[in-house]
Amino acid sequence: MHVVFVEPRFPGNQKDFVRGLREAGAEVSAIGESPIEALGPELRGWLTHYEQVGSVCDETELRRVVAWMHEQRPVERLEATVEAHILPVANVREALGIPGTSVRTAYLCRDKPAMKDALRAAGVETARSMGGGDVEEIGTFAATVGFPVIIKPRAAAGASGTYQVGSEVELRTVLSELGVGRGAEVAVEEFVDGHEAFYDTLTVGGVVVHDFITHYYPNVLEAMRTRDVSPQFIATNRIDSSEAYGEVRDMGKRVIDALGLETSATHMEWFFGDKGLKFSEIGCRPPGVRAWDLYCSANDMDLYREWAMCVVHGRTSQTASRRYAAGIITLRPEADGRIAGYEGLDEIEDRYGEWIIDTHIPPPGTPTQPVEAGYMANAWLRLRHPDYDELRRMLDTVARTVTVRAS
């Protein structure tokens, strides 16, 4: 099978999708924005052919290059795994008659108001929402559902550009900052209080063949706005043994059916609180922040290769062991500036060394990144343990013990 993979170099784990495809027996070509020399010898060695373009989101250019590749050697799959690439690739795929995720599905997984409309029509519980660029209409919606409300770009990923707005005055200020009323449109949602988590799957022909559940501590919006929080997310190894996850899995299946997902990775966010289980949003792609690395380490498997097996052969080759829970903790510098040093790391390594998967500890002198830059922007540790509750205690201990000094 000849597979064309879009953007193999950035972010860094993109190369693992190419590796997986090659190990699954595919002939792999790629299209990216970097010169071929920047790919490195290992990645170049996995590729049969590579084409550089100015932007992989430029559909005209992307279609031209894929069409040319198709003439040289029929393209049987055209794949992308980055949120911003999903819809442009779907448009090119559909225009050239290449199998894969449809434009309708890609659009519904990208545009949050349309997504929620489709899911509500299918009976999936979601927060009340709307999308648009009319300030008065948004104000009326907010007054109807009650403050606070959530304002976000129609097609954002994660907490990027997301605001929690607590009053009409604040609402109008945020809308003005975002350009609403001057041509910009946003998604507006009822605020749902409760615990936030995500459900990730691999599907073949719409059937879930692998799934994973991961919990945020604290919820993402707080994590991305609060410096004195050391955010964590932890993938549970109790998904098969806990009846509580049956409702989440059932909801995920109904979402997959409603949006027409076939053979794909998915990433679904959800909340559970006083209003029960509420679906938040979905991407028809793997999760960000290298969450798949945690799944691989926790389950004694190569999920990148499993994804490739689903794409190339329509089947799996491994079973998730559920042997460990695995999580990441972000260690934020005490202030913006440059990293001056660390306190407490040696103690953590002495206590938990056997359970540490890997670490990222930027050396002193490294410029710090802002709080909102995300879970892997500064220092972080990833750990695993057979007992989920013990892993939570370990990560909390890391948060209390390690200080990242900055100057």
pLDDT at 159: 59
Instruction: Kindly state the percentage of the chain with pLDDT values over 70.
Output: 99
SS3 content of the chain, % helix, strand, coil (to 5): 40, 30, 35
Q: What confidence tens digit (pLDDT) does each residue in 265-311 have? A: 999 999 999 889 999 999 999 999 999 999 999 999 999 999 999 99
pLDDT at 91: 98
Instruction: Kindly state the percentage of the chain with pLDDT values over 90.
Output: 92
Residue 147 has pLDDT above 90, yes or no: yes
DSSP state of 366: P
Give mean pLDDT, residues 53-82: 97
- In 10 A of CB 225, how many CB atoms? 14
Question: Does 372 or 202 have the greater pLDDT score?
Answer: 202
Residue 184 has pLDDT above 60, yes or no: yes
Mean pLDDT, the chain, whole residue set: 95
At the fourth CATH level, which superfamily is domain 128-190? ATP-grasp fold, A domain (3.30.1490.20)
Distance from CA of residue 27 to its chain's centroid? 27
For residue 390 the two structure tokens come to 């013990």
pLDDT at 172: 92
At 160, the pLDDT band (50, 70, 90 cuts) reads low
Domain positions in the chain are: 2-100, 128-190, 195-406
Q: CA-CA distances (angstroms) from residue 268 to 57, 211, 231, 276, 327?
A: 23, 11, 19, 16, 18
Q: Of the candidates 343, 331, 336, which has an alpha carbon nearest to the alpha carbon of residue 366?
A: 336
283 CB contacts (<8 Å, ≥6 apart)? Answer: 83, 86, 109, 110, 157, 266, 267
Q: Which CATH number fits domain 2-100: 3.20.20.70, 3.40.50.20, 2.160.10.10, 3.40.50.300?
A: 3.40.50.20
pLDDT at 292: 98
Q: What angle do CA 300, 240, 301 make, to 5 degrees?
A: 15
Q: Of the candidates 349, 367, 355, 303, which has an alpha carbon nearest to the alpha carbon of residue 324?
A: 355
What is the C-alpha R_g of the chain?
A: 22
Residue 158 has pLDDT above 60, yes or no: no
Q: What confidence tens digit (pLDDT) does each residue in 7-55 have? A: 999 999 999 999 999 999 999 999 999 999 999 999 999 999 999 999 9
Q: Parallel, antiparallel, or unpaired: how do β-strands 129-132 and 195-204 relate? A: unpaired
Q: At what angle do helices 112-121 and 246-259 cross, to 10 degrees?
A: 110
Residue that is written with structure tokens 């029929």 in the block? 74
Q: Parallel, antiparallel, or unpaired: how do β-strands 276-283 and 325-331 relate? A: unpaired
Q: Of the candidates 347, 297, 351, 348, which has an alpha carbon nearest to the alpha carbon of residue 326?
A: 297
At the fourth CATH level, which superfamily is domain 195-406? ATP-grasp fold, B domain (3.30.470.20)
